[in-house]
Amino acid sequence: MTSTRAFEIAGRVERFVRDVVVPYEHDPRRDHHGAPLDELVHEMRGHARTEGVLTPHILKGGDHLTQRETATVLIASGLSPLGPLACNTMAPDEGNMYLLGKVGSPALKERFLEPLVAGRARSAFMMTEPADEGGAGSDPSMMQTTCRMDGNHWVINGRKTFITGAQGASVGIIMAKAGDVASGGGACLFLVDLPDPAIRIDDVPNTIDSSMPGGHATITIDNLRVPADQMLGDAGEGFKYAQIRLSPARLSHCMRWLGACIRANEIASDYANRRHAFGKPLIDHEGVGFMLAENLIDIKQAELMIDWCAGVLDTGSLGTAESSMAKVAVSEALMRIADRCVQVMGGTGVTDKTIVEQVFREVRAFRIYDGPTEVHKWSLAKKIKRDWKAAQ
Ligand SMILES: Cc1cc2nc3c(=O)[nH]c(=O)nc-3n(C[C@H](O)[C@H](O)[C@H](O)COP(=O)(O)OP(=O)(O)OC[C@H]3O[C@@H](n4cnc5c(N)ncnc54)[C@H](O)[C@@H]3O)c2cc1C
């Protein structure tokens, strides 16, 4: 069970999302592939600030809610695809704030974290590299972006792709690999101000999803000079820090998209109760009723999986295996729920009259980012083999 304070915050967030954010769902201020423009985000955030629900998972003074408490709040913020943007609980900022809070020095927190928590800035996390150039994707050890020391600066070169929100962000976290042990060795993370002339946005492709401002950019980093004190944590520890971010961040995606699927299911249930075919409401046709019943079961299982994994993270564990299990179970369940919602609503389900078709598209992409289903299953299989060997 989560706490009374989390229920109280989540209650306010839910009322805000339903009453204030949902009416914005048809606001035309979108970019060429449907993502909300920053002007729209800032307007909604102004309302969230007034209502006291901006960045609701980080308390005054900087304390973060526990993961189980965060789940209650983020599910509520996800009830609209615009809710996380309005409340500043969205990806990638929510995960970036978490990482900075855990690993950042006081100076880095003051400079880069505070504007994010205040909802004045957006950020980007730059790890993935173009597949057609043999860069890091599912396998981060294939990282090709390099960093090398030059005096009191690091010089970074490389290409990145699918970088959510890079267009329009003011804070960037870049992962690069130091070439030799003398300069730290291994993966390093850097905090940078954006935009920067040495970080060029080459392309922002149209993608299946449309909820994230700035889309998912492909970027060239060309001799970017970063002062040494803008390294996040220690040299060579980049993969470890990424892991600190990735487990809670993938669980946060589960929370937000569960909220969206709960709402999609409400819309589909309403449709099935109102709409008649063959002399009775759709809900009374077993084929439709069973789809909605299966949705309820999948929603409850997703809630339980999130709560269980959040509880593990709250013990201080990295929760690598647990978050893999939760990510696979929840993202696959959400895909089934969203698909059934579309089906129950017939032709209306594939139109943009409701958020159901968007939720279906968003959840499809979620089966890939923060680790594709197969990669999580593969890493779990490796763990099964390791545990089996250890037991011999
Ligand atoms: C909408 C969206 C937003 C994103 N945002 C960001 C971001 O902000 N920052 C960032 O750094 N990255 C981001 N990414 C990148 C994302 O993390 C990668 O797409 C993901 O890690 C997969 O890498 P890849 O696309 O190179 O796929 P590949 O590595 O080419 O893999 C392709 C497919 O191969 C299969 N596969 C791979 N390895 C295995 C295995 N071991 N066993 C079985 N099957 C396997 C999987 O089915 C996988 O989907 C985003 C991606 C998307 C789609």
The pTM is what?
Answer: 0.97
Residue identifier of the C-alpha nearest atom 9 of ligand 1: 163
Mean of pLDDT values over 238-260: 95
- Is the beta carbon of 123 within 6 A of some atom in ligand 1? no
CA 250 to centroid of ligand 1, rounded, Å: 13
Residue identifier of the C-alpha nearest atom 40 of ligand 1: 375
- Is the beta carbon of 256 within 6 A of some atom in ligand 1? no
Q: What is the pLDDT of residues 291-337, one digit of tens each?
A: 999 999 999 999 999 999 999 999 999 999 999 999 999 999 999 99
- Is the beta carbon of 162 within 6 A of some atom in ligand 1? yes
Mean pLDDT, the chain, as a whole number?
96
More confident residue, 258 or 61: 258
Q: Which helix (H) or strand (E) holds 125?
A: strand 123-126
Residue identifier of the C-alpha nearest atom 51 of ligand 1: 369
- Is the beta carbon of 369 within 6 A of some atom in ligand 1? yes
Residue identifier of the C-alpha nearest atom 43 of ligand 1: 374
The pLDDT of residue 120? 96
Is the pLDDT confidence value at 183 over 60? Answer: no
Mean of pLDDT values over 192-203: 98
CA 248 to chain centre: 10
- Is the beta carbon of 378 within 6 A of some atom in ligand 1? yes
The pLDDT of residue 61? 85
- Show Cβ contacts of residue 271 under 8 Å, excluding neighbours closer than 6 positions: 282, 344, 345, 348
The pLDDT of residue 185? 66
The pLDDT of residue 94? 96
CA 314 to centroid of ligand 1, rounded, Å: 27
Is the pLDDT confidence value at 359 over 60? Answer: yes
Mean of pLDDT values over 65-81: 98
Mean of pLDDT values over 345-368: 98
What DSSP line would sit under 176-239, residue for residue?
A: EEESSGGGT-EEEEEEEESS-TTEEEEE----S---STT-EEEEEEEEEEEEGGGB-SSTTBHH
Percent share of the chain, pLDDT over 90: 95
Per-domain residue ranges of the chain: 4-90, 124-236, 239-391
Beta strand 199-203 pairing with 153-164? unpaired
CA 33 to centroid of ligand 1, rounded, Å: 21
Fold of 124-236: Butyryl-CoA Dehydrogenase, subunit A; domain 2 (2.40.110)
Angle between the N-to-C axes of helices 320-344 and 356-366, in degrees from 0 to 180, rounded to the nearest 10: 150
Is the pLDDT confidence value at 82 over 60? Answer: yes
The pLDDT of residue 179? 76
Burial, 17: exposed, middle or buried (Cβ in 10 Å; 0-12, 13-18, 19+)? Answer: buried
- Is the beta carbon of 207 within 6 A of some atom in ligand 1? yes
The pLDDT of residue 62? 86
Structural Rg of the chain based on CA atoms: 21
Mean of pLDDT values over 128-154: 96
Is the pLDDT confidence value at 5 over 90? Answer: yes
Residue identifier of the C-alpha nearest atom 1 of ligand 1: 365
Model confidence at 32, in pLDDT bands (50, 70, 90)? confident
CA 3 to each of CA 67, 83, 179, 283: distance values in angstroms, whole numbers, following the listed order:
11, 22, 47, 36
- Is the beta carbon of 115 within 6 A of some atom in ligand 1? no
- Test site for ligand 1: of 93, 127, 138, 253, most ligand atoms within 8 A of the Cβ: 138
The pLDDT of residue 33? 85
Identical fold between 124-236 and 239-391: no
What is the rounded distance in angstroms from the CA atom of residue 194 to the CA atom of residue 367? 29
> Are 214 and 207 contacting, i.e. CB atoms less than 8 angstroms apart?
no
CATH number corresponding to 239-391: 1.20.140.10
Is the pLDDT confidence value at 111 over 80? Answer: yes
HSE of 391 in the Cβ direction (CA atoms, 13 Å)? 6
- Is the beta carbon of 335 within 6 A of some atom in ligand 1? no
Is the pLDDT confidence value at 23 over 90? Answer: yes
Mean of pLDDT values over 109-123: 97
- Is the beta carbon of 137 within 6 A of some atom in ligand 1? yes
The pLDDT of residue 181? 45
